[in-house]
Homo-oligomer: A and B are copies of this chain.
């Protein structure tokens, strides 16, 4: 089915329907994505003030068969937020819909508009003595509508779940321009199909999320952080099981760090202090969040002693102050920058069944080595089975020299992930970059069902064409 561009005639139609100040000239930030793989087009940029205006925009686009690209903070890593080709779209930026409508501390719920910046939602929760647990690198600029549309993950998924699990209800404009008020604050509601979870993670291809009711949690009164050296990824998994048995739901993060990542920091970011010498081959960063009256340092000391006795740890640091906690987290948070400075040949945001991880790491190392002389930095959210498995040139080498091998590396890694029952996109989504991977690895019955759902809800194919499914 052919779509039409958001041209001057369409722009005039919109101006007849809606206040003129909704329409702005696009800035570079409306057309860029962080990895610079694509540059977006924009026929018309609209910045609506409320869901009714979003509905009017989508209704007009549906009538005129004009593509619509919903835009949040624009921080997505798979190109879901930019449409580089085809008829120029109507870009609907949620940047004016940033209200925190309500915080209900006793209910542990916040109701926010989709354009609210994640850090502002976190701050509003904290002011009410509550935690909004979604936390990720882009939190200062990503917007909650985008977090939900991509089902964002981050460092606290182990304990609190990803964006989908942190959402009770959404308000959304469907592809025909109808407004669904699903902004419920209910924990239980079994009245038909789960349209909420269908729109969450649909990356703007089934509608525009305009507001959400989010789950909050108690603010942990006490926190503790440790960096523990483990002999192997296998031991890291056993340590995770041990920690869970002892500390249940008090573990907020359990991050695997590889020696290669620490080498990169030493080479390129020597100002980042490394607390352990020699730099360990494998280590885990554990964070505990506990209620008042609990003693996370003692809990970490007991865990460390038990891990030593079981041969699961050989060294470690337990933070004794807030400054030491921050130092350990600084180390973790600079790993992506270290990667960027070295320059990856190919990066992979993968997940695996926990039990398959040690075998995968061994086999993937062999598979990558068979393709050439590379360095692998494998790190990430071990508690969720989510690894960032990134492949780099050898020391002194340059990614440009290996550009021709990137495809083969990615294929080898993703084939192995698939073979181990894993996913080629754990938290970043499909966007436009991974459409081919979804076609290659997706279950055929599921793909057919996805296409049928897309065609049923968006028969003209106007919503974010080319994302997730081929247009």
Interface-located stretch among A67-75, A101-109, A260-268, A326-334: A101-109
B456 engages A246 (CB within 8 Å): no
A201 engages B206 (CB within 8 Å): no
B178 engages A448 (CB within 8 Å): yes
B352 engages A186 (CB within 8 Å): yes
Q: Which of A70-129 contact B (CB under 8 A)?
A: 104-109
Chain B: minimal CB distance from A52 (Å): 13
Question: A282 contacts the other chain (Cβ, under 8 Å)?
Answer: no
Question: A442 contacts the other chain (Cβ, under 8 Å)?
Answer: yes
A195 engages B450 (CB within 8 Å): yes
Q: How far is the CA of A383 from the CA of B186 in the complex (A)?
A: 11
A355 contacts which of B106, B434, B450 (Cβ < 8 Å)? B106
Instruction: Determine the chain B residues whose CB is within 8 A of the CB of A179 once the complex forms.
Output: 445
Question: A353 contacts the other chain (Cβ, under 8 Å)?
Answer: yes
Instruction: Determine the chain B residues whose CB is within 8 A of the CB of A108 once the complex forms.
Output: 244
Instruction: Determine the chain B residues whose CB is within 8 A of the CB of A245 once the complex forms.
Output: 218, 291-292
Instruction: Determine the chain B residues whose CB is within 8 A of the CB of A430 once the complex forms.
Output: 190-192
Q: How far is the CA of A453 from the CA of B195 in the complex (A)?
A: 10
Instruction: Determine the chain B residues whose CB is within 8 A of the CB of A354 once the complex forms.
Output: 104, 106-107, 109, 185
Instruction: Determine the chain B residues whose CB is within 8 A of the CB of A30 once the complex forms.
Output: none
B218 engages A421 (CB within 8 Å): no
Chain B: minimal CB distance from A216 (Å): 10
Instruction: Determine the chain B residues whose CB is within 8 A of the CB of A250 once the complex forms.
Output: 248-249, 291
A190 engages B106 (CB within 8 Å): no
Question: A6 contacts the other chain (Cβ, under 8 Å)?
Answer: no
B238 engages A106 (CB within 8 Å): yes
Interface string of A267-302 (1 = CB under 8 A from B): 000000000000000000000001111000000000
A353 engages B107 (CB within 8 Å): yes
Interface-located stretch among A40-48, A157-165, A316-324: A157-165
A443 engages B181 (CB within 8 Å): yes
Chain B: minimal CB distance from A151 (Å): 5
Interface string of A448-471 (1 = CB under 8 A from B): 111011111100000000001100
Q: Which of A198-218 contact B (CB under 8 A)?
A: 198, 200-202, 206, 217-218
Instruction: Determine the chain B residues whose CB is within 8 A of the CB of A190 once the complex forms.
Output: 150-151, 153, 201, 423, 425-430
Chain B: minimal CB distance from A423 (Å): 4
B445 engages A452 (CB within 8 Å): no
Scoring A191, A202, A244, A455 by chain B CB atoms within 10 A of each residue's CB, the highest score goes to A191
By beta carbon, the residue of chain B nearest A238 is: B106
Interface string of A160-198 (1 = CB under 8 A from B): 011011000000001000111110111111111111011
Given contacts A106-B237, A456-B455, A457-B449, contact A193 B198 (CB under 8 A): yes
A456 contacts which of B185, B197, B456 (Cβ < 8 Å)? B456
A426 contacts which of B161, B181, B189, B246 (Cβ < 8 Å)? B189
Scoring A185, A200, A355, A449 by chain B CB atoms within 10 A of each residue's CB, the highest score goes to A449
Question: A220 contacts the other chain (Cβ, under 8 Å)?
Answer: yes
A453 engages B443 (CB within 8 Å): no
A187 engages B351 (CB within 8 Å): yes
Q: How far is the CA of A354 from the CA of B195 in the complex (A)?
A: 23
A446 engages B182 (CB within 8 Å): yes
Nearest 10 CB-CB pairs, A to B?
A456-B456, A249-B249, A197-B197, A178-B445, A185-B353, A180-B445, A189-B423, A452-B456, A188-B426, A107-B354
29 interchain pairs (CB within 8 A)? Answer: A104-B355, A105-B241, A107-B353, A109-B354, A150-B190, A151-B190, A153-B188, A153-B190, A157-B187, A164-B194, A174-B445, A178-B445, A178-B448, A184-B353, A184-B421, A185-B354, A186-B422, A187-B384, A188-B381, A190-B425, A190-B427, A191-B424, A191-B429, A192-B430, A192-B468, A193-B453, A195-B446, A197-B197, A245-B292
A interface residues, Cβ below 8 angstroms from B: 104-109, 150-151, 153, 157-158, 161-162, 164-165, 174, 178-182, 184-195, 197-198, 200-202, 206, 217-218, 220, 237-238, 241, 244-250, 290-293, 351-355, 381, 383-386, 421-430, 434, 437-438, 441-450, 452-457, 468-469
